[in-house]
Amino acid sequence: MSVVYLVHGTDLEKMLENSVRTLLRHCENIDVIIYYTDDSNTHYDQVAQKFGVRVIPVEDITGNREYSNFGTENFNRVTSLKWKIILQTLDLGYDTVVFSDCDIAFVQDFRPYIESAVRYYPVGVQSESSSMFPPAFCTGFMYFNKSTKPFLERLKEINQNVLGEYNDQEVFNRTLGNTPKLYRDILTLPESLFPNGLHSRSFVGKDFEGLFGELSPFLFHANFVKGVQEQIDLLKYVNLWEIA
């Protein structure tokens, strides 16, 4: 199993470091690969040396090295690279590849869960926690088994055809909507174990004294806020920011 990240520009450096730091604390000896679009930036080489992870440059298809906010054409272009790097990592010989956004902090080891889940579902994707069915998926955290290469190639091709118009998450959800039978092979990762930004209160609230159990999530995804600083502030709010 390998965990891969995709980074573009310099604004994500601290958030990436926070995510990798929490990942390696809870998932010892896991293989981590950071794909980055700016091969002139030495920071990622420093991260590799610091944490013992691999960094691999990937073609920049934006022409802009600045961070791009959600919903912009450049954001859509950058995220379209996800399918390419997941395929590239599977080609390195891994049976399962996990993709993680940089704004995720890890709370415990998710590997036993995914190693068991992949025997039943070759794909698992975080939920948007929306009140709809079929669910809307969040492609900020997901896993793919090697058997899904044809599906990934299809996503890559579709994304290339609408490059800049739609982001990877929209392409993923639209593809499933157009081919409903695909839902059968995709696990909606439980929201209580793989929570997103809408669940932030569960990290800071006080439990009822009579409870004899507690939620034990694997990670926290600091999404549903706009901008890098807001994501960092949310990670600080839930006490999952570890960078000075």
Q: Which of 59, 64, 80, 66 is nearest to 166 (CA)?
A: 80
pLDDT band at 63 (very low <50, low <70, confident <90, very high): low
For residue range 11-55, what is the model confidence (pLDDT) as tens digits?
788 899 999 999 999 999 999 999 988 655 667 778 888 899 999
Q: What is the pLDDT of residue 47?
A: 81
Q: Are strands 31-36 and 2-7 parallel, antiparallel or unpaired?
A: parallel
Q: How far apart are CA 81 and CA 2, in angstroms?
A: 17
Domains with residue ranges and CATH for the chain:
2-237 (3.90.550.10)
Cα–Cα distance measured from residue 230 to residue 225, given in angstroms and rounded to the nearest whole number: 6
pLDDT computed for residue 59 by the predictor = 79
Residue 68 has pLDDT above 80, yes or no: no
Instruction: Give the contacts of 178 (CB within 8 A, at least 6 positions apart).
Output: none
User: What is the token pair recorded at 130?
Assistant: 């929306």
Dump the DSSP string for the chain: -EEEEEE-SSTTHHHHHHHHHHHHHHSTT-EEEEEES-TT--HHHHHHHHHT-EEEE----SS--S---TTSHHHHHHHTTHHHHHHHHHTTT-SEEEEE-TTEEE-S--HHHHHHHTTT-SEEEEE---S-SSPPEEEEEEEEEGGGHHHHHHHHHHHHHTBTTB-HHHHHHHHHHHSGGGGGGEEEE-TTTS--GGGTHHHHSPPPTT-S-----SEEE--SS-SHHHHHHHHHHTT-----
Mean predicted lDDT score pLDDT of the chain:
88
**pLDDT score at 147:** 97
**144-171, pLDDT tens digit by residue?**
999 999 999 999 999 888 877 788 999 9
Question: Could you report the per-residue pLDDT of 172-220, keeping only the tens digit for each?
Answer: 999 999 999 999 999 999 999 999 988 888 887 766 667 666 678 999 9
Q: What is the pLDDT of residue 230?
A: 94
